[in-house]
Amino acid sequence: MAIHIQSGKNSLDCSIKHSKVHSVPFRIHADCDAPVSRYFEPYVKETQGNVLKGSFRGYPLRGQKIAIPDGYIGLMLHENIRPTIKKSERKFYIVNNFNEIVYWNWDKMPSRNDAFIKALDWIEISEALHSPITEE
Protein backbone atom coordinates (compact mmCIF):
# COMPACT_ATOMS: atom_id res chain seq x y z
CA MET A 1 0.00 0.00 0.00
CA ALA A 2 1.37 3.37 -1.01
CA ILE A 3 0.64 6.53 0.93
CA HIS A 4 0.95 9.90 -0.80
CA ILE A 5 1.06 13.18 1.09
CA GLN A 6 0.31 16.17 -1.09
CA SER A 7 0.36 19.86 -0.42
CA GLY A 8 -0.51 22.87 -2.43
CA LYS A 9 -2.99 25.67 -2.67
CA ASN A 10 -5.62 23.70 -4.58
CA SER A 11 -5.16 20.35 -2.85
CA LEU A 12 -8.31 20.69 -0.77
CA ASP A 13 -11.60 22.31 -1.70
CA CYS A 14 -12.37 23.77 1.72
CA SER A 15 -9.73 25.35 3.91
CA ILE A 16 -9.63 23.70 7.33
CA LYS A 17 -7.93 25.92 9.91
CA HIS A 18 -7.29 24.99 13.55
CA SER A 19 -5.76 27.25 16.14
CA LYS A 20 -4.84 24.51 18.63
CA VAL A 21 -4.22 20.77 18.57
CA HIS A 22 -5.38 18.53 21.45
CA SER A 23 -4.49 14.89 22.05
CA VAL A 24 -7.22 13.44 24.26
CA PRO A 25 -7.26 10.01 25.99
CA PHE A 26 -10.56 8.92 24.46
CA ARG A 27 -12.14 8.24 21.09
CA ILE A 28 -15.08 10.13 19.69
CA HIS A 29 -16.97 8.19 17.05
CA ALA A 30 -17.56 11.05 14.65
CA ASP A 31 -15.93 12.30 11.50
CA CYS A 32 -16.60 16.01 11.58
CA ASP A 33 -15.32 19.27 12.97
CA ALA A 34 -16.01 19.87 16.64
CA PRO A 35 -16.55 23.33 18.20
CA VAL A 36 -13.71 22.78 20.71
CA SER A 37 -13.09 26.49 21.18
CA ARG A 38 -16.72 26.96 22.20
CA TYR A 39 -17.46 23.93 24.41
CA PHE A 40 -14.09 22.75 25.75
CA GLU A 41 -11.40 25.45 25.80
CA PRO A 42 -13.36 28.05 27.85
CA TYR A 43 -13.45 25.58 30.75
CA VAL A 44 -9.74 24.73 30.70
CA LYS A 45 -7.84 26.33 33.58
CA GLU A 46 -4.08 26.75 33.85
CA THR A 47 -2.60 26.17 37.32
CA GLN A 48 0.89 26.30 38.81
CA GLY A 49 3.65 24.73 36.78
CA ASN A 50 1.74 25.08 33.47
CA VAL A 51 -0.64 22.26 34.43
CA LEU A 52 -3.92 22.43 32.55
CA LYS A 53 -7.14 21.21 34.15
CA GLY A 54 -10.28 20.39 32.24
CA SER A 55 -13.02 17.82 32.01
CA PHE A 56 -14.89 15.79 29.44
CA ARG A 57 -18.41 14.62 30.25
CA GLY A 58 -17.67 15.10 33.96
CA TYR A 59 -14.40 13.16 33.99
CA PRO A 60 -11.33 15.17 35.08
CA LEU A 61 -8.49 15.74 32.62
CA ARG A 62 -4.95 16.97 33.27
CA GLY A 63 -2.94 18.41 30.42
CA GLN A 64 0.34 19.89 29.39
CA LYS A 65 1.47 21.94 26.40
CA ILE A 66 4.22 20.14 24.50
CA ALA A 67 6.33 21.86 21.86
CA ILE A 68 7.27 20.01 18.70
CA PRO A 69 11.09 19.54 18.70
CA ASP A 70 13.21 22.11 16.88
CA GLY A 71 13.65 21.39 13.20
CA TYR A 72 10.32 19.54 12.98
CA ILE A 73 6.77 20.60 12.29
CA GLY A 74 3.44 18.93 13.03
CA LEU A 75 1.08 18.44 10.09
CA MET A 76 -2.68 18.03 9.94
CA LEU A 77 -3.66 15.70 7.14
CA HIS A 78 -7.02 15.15 5.47
CA GLU A 79 -8.12 12.22 3.34
CA ASN A 80 -10.98 13.04 0.96
CA ILE A 81 -12.02 9.47 0.21
CA ARG A 82 -10.74 6.48 2.13
CA PRO A 83 -10.28 3.47 -0.16
CA THR A 84 -12.44 0.42 0.49
CA ILE A 85 -9.60 -2.01 -0.24
CA LYS A 86 -6.79 -2.11 2.35
CA LYS A 87 -3.96 -2.39 -0.18
CA SER A 88 -5.09 0.56 -2.30
CA GLU A 89 -3.12 3.76 -2.59
CA ARG A 90 -4.10 6.46 -0.12
CA LYS A 91 -3.87 10.20 -0.68
CA PHE A 92 -3.61 12.66 2.18
CA TYR A 93 -3.57 16.43 1.84
CA ILE A 94 -1.80 18.87 4.17
CA VAL A 95 -4.42 21.27 5.53
CA ASN A 96 -2.52 22.95 8.36
CA ASN A 97 0.57 22.75 10.51
CA PHE A 98 1.37 23.29 14.18
CA ASN A 99 4.34 23.62 16.50
CA GLU A 100 2.65 22.82 19.82
CA ILE A 101 0.17 20.22 21.05
CA VAL A 102 -1.86 20.00 24.25
CA TYR A 103 -1.53 16.46 25.61
CA TRP A 104 -4.23 15.25 28.05
CA ASN A 105 -4.49 12.37 30.58
CA TRP A 106 -7.36 11.18 32.76
CA ASP A 107 -7.00 12.76 36.21
CA LYS A 108 -3.18 12.52 36.27
CA MET A 109 -0.41 14.74 35.02
CA PRO A 110 1.23 13.81 31.75
CA SER A 111 4.68 12.38 32.50
CA ARG A 112 7.78 11.08 30.73
CA ASN A 113 6.29 7.58 31.12
CA ASP A 114 3.41 8.31 28.70
CA ALA A 115 3.84 6.68 25.29
CA PHE A 116 3.18 9.93 23.42
CA ILE A 117 5.90 11.83 25.27
CA LYS A 118 8.31 8.88 24.95
CA ALA A 119 7.76 8.94 21.19
CA LEU A 120 8.96 12.54 21.04
CA ASP A 121 12.12 11.49 22.92
CA TRP A 122 12.86 9.01 20.12
CA ILE A 123 13.33 11.91 17.69
CA GLU A 124 16.49 13.00 19.52
CA ILE A 125 17.68 9.40 19.90
CA SER A 126 17.11 8.75 16.19
CA GLU A 127 19.07 11.86 15.24
CA ALA A 128 21.98 10.75 17.40
CA LEU A 129 21.96 7.24 15.91
CA HIS A 130 21.70 8.35 12.29
CA SER A 131 23.92 11.43 12.29
CA PRO A 132 27.28 11.14 10.51
CA ILE A 133 30.24 10.18 12.64
CA THR A 134 33.05 12.69 12.53
CA GLU A 135 36.58 11.80 13.51
CA GLU A 136 38.25 14.19 15.91
pLDDT in tens, 2-33: 888 888 655 444 444 545 889 999 888 887 77
Count each helix (H run) and each strand (E run) in the chain, helices first. Answer: 2, 8
The rounded percent of the chain whose pLDDT value lies above 70 is 90
Q: pTM (2 decimals)?
A: 0.75
Query: Apex CA 135: angle with CA 132 and CA 136, to 5°?
Result: 130
Strand partners, 104: 63
**What three-state secondary structure class fits 126?**
helix
Q: CATH topology for 3-110?
A: Lipocalin (2.40.128)
Q: What is the mean pLDDT of residues 127-133?
A: 86
Task: List Cα–Cα distances, 69 to 21, 55, 110, in angstroms.
Answer: 15, 28, 17
pLDDT of amino acid 1:
75
- Specify whether the CB–CB gap between 46 and 52 falls below 8 A: yes
Say yes or no to pLDDT of 93 above 60: yes
